[in-house]
Structures are given as structure tokens and as C-alpha cells.
Chains A and B, each alone.
Chain A
Amino acid sequence: MSSVSTTNPPVTSNISKPRWERAVPVYGFPVVNGFFVVLFAMTLLAFVLTAYRELAGLGPVSGMNDAYGWGIWKTFNVMVLTALGSGAFAIGIAAWVFRRKRLHALMRMALLTSFLAYACGLLLLGIDAGRPWNFYWIVFPWKWNMHSPLAEVAICMSIYAMIPLAIENIPPVLERLWYFDSRLRPGVERMERGLHKFFPWIIAAAYLLPGMHQSSLGALMLLAGERVHPLWQTPWLPLLYLGAATFMSFGCVAGTTMLCCLVWKRAMDMEVLDEAARITAWLIFGWLGLRLLDIVFRGALGTAFHADRFAGVFWLETLLISIGGYLLLRSLRDHETRWMFLGYVLSSLGGMIYRFSPTTLAFRPNPESLYFPSTIEILVSLGFISMGVAGFLLIVKRFAILPASLDEWHDMASYFRFRRPYIRWTGYFKYGHFGENESVTSDSD
């Protein structure tokens, strides 16, 4: 007996390696809980404050001033959070263009987080604009200033979020309808076939457009010239912004998925997570290399050793990103999910500081001036983030977004059949045990 136990391999035997094979809704947890109520209240508060902002103007509600014309609504909610929400772009390219097939398991998470981040960012962008009613010029292409990075961002971001990204998010909705009522199935299948016909064009647009506007977000600060500290101001700013968005969004999607697995007690597929971590680590080190080379060749390295806040911010973000990258590599060796999660958190945090710096932390207006967001500004910013998080919590519990094993799907079916037979909200269980009523031949086209 003892000899058997000593020769036993460690726990990582091949019998219990969970695989993410199917997106399954989070079931058995109520949507409305304390956390959700708090998020909802924050969102409502933000809407009320927004109404006040529209009447009073930007001055009374924000810390923005003549020197810092942009506050956290633009610099954080749009420029930082849409980088976290570039998962549909970064993971999509890895999966569809470079054919990292395992990453398809994370695709629905990536698409959903991207859509929410962009939608909340764009809404706040409309509130941040002083004269939002003039946005209607966006439908008249001859009015566009084609060479303005801001026009590029505003137009491209709106089109991306409203057309390709929204369409990419349709399949889970159609799937829900398919399971909801058998009478809907022929129509749903027809729509799916139509969708698939246009998918290559839509997906390609969903990679071209974010590539354009995520880099143009960096180009925005090029025009600010000397006012951006030399550690950040570089002709490579567009590429560095885009690169930061790729590893940050990998961190956001994989990290969020891990967190969800932890909270809702789902198994993690280490093959998928390892693949994502490996790609993220390479992206991080490639990005760091490009950034350091750029700083060295521009001769700005000396300013990193001055005892001022700029050097502090620079070292903080560089350390966070490189420690994050190191932890990701380490997790690939040790298969320790905690290091992987921490690696994602630290590298994304560093990336967030990097994306925040050129507009705010490393911005040196002349004459010298200070900006700190006012309470209302912070509350509105948090309110719009809360809206995204609340939307996420609602959607993962109503649609098949989060990846899980096949067993999870069957468990869900039996859960609704035996323990919650009176709940009608999810059509996923309505037609009995999954697999029984799902005729594969139904979509024999």
C-alpha cells in the first residue's frame, strides 16, 4: 500500500484535467444580490449627476481647468478602460488570424468585456463633450477632419462598437432564442446562416478598426508636443498604446475569467490559460523592449533617474509590467494559478498607468497647474464603470458566456429540471435534458 502511494504521480494526473469545451451560463446564483444593488445605485447616482452636469456645465462638476482640458472621464474611462476592453481585438487576432485555436474558449468573454468597456466609455465620452448635440456631424463624412487623430478615434470607435463588435456579440443572443422556444428555431437558424455569410468581413473590420483607434489614442498626445514628458512623448506612441492595449486586454479577459471561475466555482482549463499567459508574457516583454529601446535611442533615459514624479511614475509602471510578465512566465513553469492571476493584475495595472500617464501624470502644462478630479467627477466615472460591471454580472447569468466543461452544461440542465422547475427565465432547460431535444439534423443545410 505504502509503495503505491509513494509512486503515485502528483495530483496533476490526466484523469481530472478539466477542459473548457462549452460556454455555459452561470446558474444557481441570483442576479440581484447586495453587490449588484450597490452597482445599480452607483449607476443611478451617476445618471443623476450627469443630468446636473448637462445643466451646470463641466466646471462645477469637475476638476478640469484651462491647463488640464481633459479629465478622468476621457483619460481614464476612455483611454485606459477601452485598452482593457480590447480583448475582442487582441484575443480575436490571436485566435482567428494566428489560429491559436484554444483561445476560442475565451472568445465570448473577450467580446462581452470589450462591448461593455466600449459602450460605457463612449457614453461617458458623450457626457464629457461640451457640445454633444453637434456629434451628428459624424454621419457626414465630408465634415470629418481626416487627419485629426481625435476624429479618427471618435468616428472609428463609435462605428466599431456599434457595428462589428455588436454583431460579434449576437451569436449568444441567438443561441438563447434557439433554446428558448422551438418555434423560434427555424428563424434563428436562418439568421445564423446569414450572419455566418458576412462573418469574415465583420470580423476583419473588428480587427482593423480597433487597431486604428487604439493607436490613434496614442497619436492624440503627439500634438501636445513638449508638454508630454520625454519619457512618454515619442513618435512611437501610437504603436506603444496599441501594444499596451493587447497585453492589458489579455490580462483583463483571462484574469476576469479566472476570477469568475473562482467566484462561481468552476474548473479552470490550464491549457487555455497557459496559452494565454504565454502570449501575454511575450507581448509584455516585446512591448517593454520596444519602450526601452525607444527611450534609449531618443536619449531620454537620463530623465528616468531624476528625482521627480515623472521618474517615479515611469519606474512604477515599468516595474509593475515587468514583474507581471515575470510572474506569468513563472506560472507557466509552476502551474500556479495564483501567480498567473497576480501577473495579469500587475501587468494590467502597469499598462493602465502607462495609458494614463501622457494625458495626466506626465502632462506638464505651461504655466504649471494641478488637476485632481472632483468628487462628482469620480462618482460619475465609477458609476459608468459600475454600469459595465452590473451589465457583465447580469449577462453572464443569463447567456452562455463563461467557458466550462461539458459536464457543467449537463449539470445545469439537471439543476433546472430538478431543483428549480418553476423558473422559466432560461429557455436553456425548457426542453428537457440537453442533448435529448437537440436534433443535430435540424441545421442540416
Chain B
Amino acid sequence: MAITRRELISSIAKAGVPAAVAMTAGTGTLQAESIPVPSAAVGLLYDASICIGCKACVAACAEANDTPPDTRGDSLHQAPSDLNDLTRNVIKLYKPEDGSAYSFVKRQCMHCLDPACAAGCPFQALHKDPETGVVSWTAEECIGCRYCTITCPFHIPRFQWQGYNPRVTKCELCSQRLEKGLRPGCTSVCPTGAVIFGPRTVLLSEAKQRIKNNPGRYYQDRVYGEIDNGGTQALYLSRIPFEKLGLPELGPESVPARTLRWQRRFYQYFALPAVLYGGLVQVIRKSLRGHEQEAHEREKQTGLRAQL
């Protein structure tokens, strides 16, 4: 028995493990892991400290996306409690019981530089535009597996639970309006300028300028989304901790880069699986020969046809 293991190992080694390992595990950064900022990355800058919670952006979002207003709460007002299959953009209120500082927060897709939803999407229904960096969904490629609702660290994509032809709903930065030279719906109506639209670099310097002009006003003097989760194209400023607003502390590495490191290396160029396959064929060939021989011997002994 001991010989078989040696056989297994040696035949796998013969098939070129060193080369495969060097090709996969040894690679510094895989192409899938380097996160380039798209050349014409656009995004949103939301400043929670100047948002008055008027929800004009919620109505404007539904209008810009041709979505019927979500009045399922009280059959009268468009007041969704969270993102859902009719709501791409929502204003929520964080108000602690003890009466300390409260804040509104606008939730919509963060348009991550390395989006986890697209990393998990099996047939690339969710994909990131290489130029504008907008993460959008296409109905023709989506199988409705709802993996995006599991993977998104911000819990953004929502599945339509009713009907035979369900869709995935998420903010696509009004890309059809962008093509016409218009701004996204939410930014075009905001009365206080709490949410503004622009190239990511411009928004980032604007946010940093605000932090510089108002020292101590913003939480940790930090722009959420500059490096969080590998960087996002929706940027946030807030007086109160981001975590209270539902923006988790994810660290500077994106979720896919952090969690799929070994998975990606294993399947890179399909090299390791191919090597493993070659080794398996070698070993099984030998065992099959022995097994067949034994079966035929037994056939002669018992007079019954061999069962392989």
C-alpha cells in the first residue's frame, strides 16, 4: 500500500508540479487582483452633515429610472423603509435613543473599484464599465442566483421576489442620463447639495477640501470610500461614525481580493487542476489494469461474468 502513495506523488511531480506552482502560487499579484481606477471614473459625493432628509432624491431616482413609486408601506406615500426591488436610492435616519447626534444617510450602490457582486456573478450579468466604472446589471446574462445579494458588503443589490421574470435592482448611476449629458437623478434635485456628481478625482479633492476647511467637523477627518473596500466611487463624509450609518469598516483591501486570494491562484490558467488531472489519470490507469485482471481471474473461478 505504501508504494501507491509514493506512486501518486511521484507521478504528479513528474507531470510538472513545480512549473504549475510557480505559475500560480508564486505570482505576485494576479491580473484579477490589481484594481485600476477606471480612466473616466465618475461617482457621487454625499455629505451626511448637510443632508436635511427631504427625500427629494428618492422620488427623483424613481422618476429618472422609470420606476413606479414604492407606496407599498401605506398605499399613499413613497416611503420605502429600505432599498428594494423598486428603490435604488433611499434616505435613512440614524437617531440614537439617548438623544445624541443624529444623521441622515443616503444609501445606493457604492460602485466599488473592485466590486464583490461582479466578482461573484457567474455569467458577468453584473459588470463594471471599464471607462466610467459604473457597475450595472444586464437582464440577458442574469440567471437570478441572488449571489450578489449575499456578496455585496454594503447589501445593495435587491432581487425582485414577485413575478415570473424577476430583475435585480441597483443604482446604475443613471447611465442612460449620463449618455445624454445629464446628471444622475438624485444629484439634480438635491436642495442643499448634500449629494453631488462628478469625476471621482474631483469629488475626492472636494471632500478633502471640506475636511481641511472644517477641522473636527467630520468623523476621523476621513473620506469613506477613498480606500475602503479597495476604494469606491461613491464617497461619504459624515459627522458620526460610518458604521452607525451602515457603512462597515472593511479595511483597505477589497473583499474579493482579500477572500478569493487562494481560490484565484488555484484556478489561474487552470494549471494546478490540469496537473492534478494528469497525475490522477496515471495512477488510475495502473489501478484499473490490476482491477480488471483480478476481475477476470474471479470470473474464471466463479463462472459468473465479471462486474467492473
Contact = CB atoms under 8 A, between A and B. Distances in A.
Contact of B291 (A104, A212, A225): A104
Interface in B131-181: 139-147, 149-151, 153, 155, 158-166
Interface string A121-160: 0000000111110110110000111111111101100000
Nearest to B84: A66
Contacts of A149: 120, 260, 263
B260 A175 contact: no
Contacts of B141: 134, 137, 143
A216 B267 CA distance: 11
B299 interface: yes
B174 to A, nearest CB: 23
Contacts of B264: 147
B304 A434 contact: yes
A60 interface: yes
Given A220-B147, A225-B255, A147 B276 contact: no
Contacts of B294: 101
Interface string B39-51: 0000000000000
B211 interface: no
A196 B308 contact: yes
Interface in A15-55: 21-23, 54-55
Contacts, number: 222
B63 interface: no
Contacts of A207: 280
Contacts of A226: 153, 248
B263 A204 contact: no
A126 to B, nearest CB: 9
Nearest to A71: B146
A168 to B, nearest CB: 11
Interface string A168-197: 000100010010000000000000100010
A129 B283 contact: no
Contacts of B276: 208, 211
Contacts of A130: 142-146, 159-160, 166
A57 interface: yes
Contact of A223 (B1, B255, B307): B255
A208 B276 CA distance: 7
A11 interface: no
A131 B150 contact: no
Nearest to A58: B161
Contact of A70 (B124, B150, B260): B150
A207 B282 CA distance: 13
A223 B256 contact: yes
A201 B281 contact: yes
A97 B287 contact: yes
B277 A208 contact: yes
A238 B263 contact: yes
B13 interface: no
Residue among B82, B284, B292 with max Cβ neighbours from chain A (10 Å): B284
Given A22-B304, A435-B303, A222 B260 contact: yes
Nearest to B116: A223
A99 B1 contact: yes
A67 B155 CA distance: 8
A416 B1 CA distance: 42
A438 B300 CA distance: 11
A56 interface: yes
B273 interface: yes
Chain A: interface size category? 35 or more
A440 interface: yes
A236 to B, nearest CB: 9
B1 A225 contact: no
B8 interface: yes
B90 to A, nearest CB: 12
A96 B284 contact: yes
A439 to B, nearest CB: 9
Contacts of A409: 304
A196 B284 CA distance: 12
A131 B142 contact: yes
B32 interface: yes
A59 B260 contact: no
Interface in B269-308: 273, 276-277, 280-281, 283-285, 287-288, 290-292, 294, 298-300, 302-305, 307-308
B67 interface: no
B273 A208 contact: yes
A25 B13 CA distance: 42
Contacts of A216: 263
Given A196-B308, A223-B120, A204 B277 contact: yes
Contacts of A221: 150
B12 to A, nearest CB: 11
Interface in A408-445: 409, 434-435, 438, 440
Q: What are the 9 A-B residue pairs with the smallest beta carbon separation, nearest first?
A: A130-B144, A59-B161, A151-B122, A69-B149, A204-B280, A131-B144, A69-B146, A222-B259, A223-B151
5 contacts: A145-B119, A148-B120, A222-B263, A435-B302, A435-B303
Given A56-B162, A134-B141, 11 more contacts: A69-B147, A101-B294, A131-B143, A134-B123, A134-B143, A149-B260, A196-B288, A220-B147, A226-B248, A366-B248, A440-B299
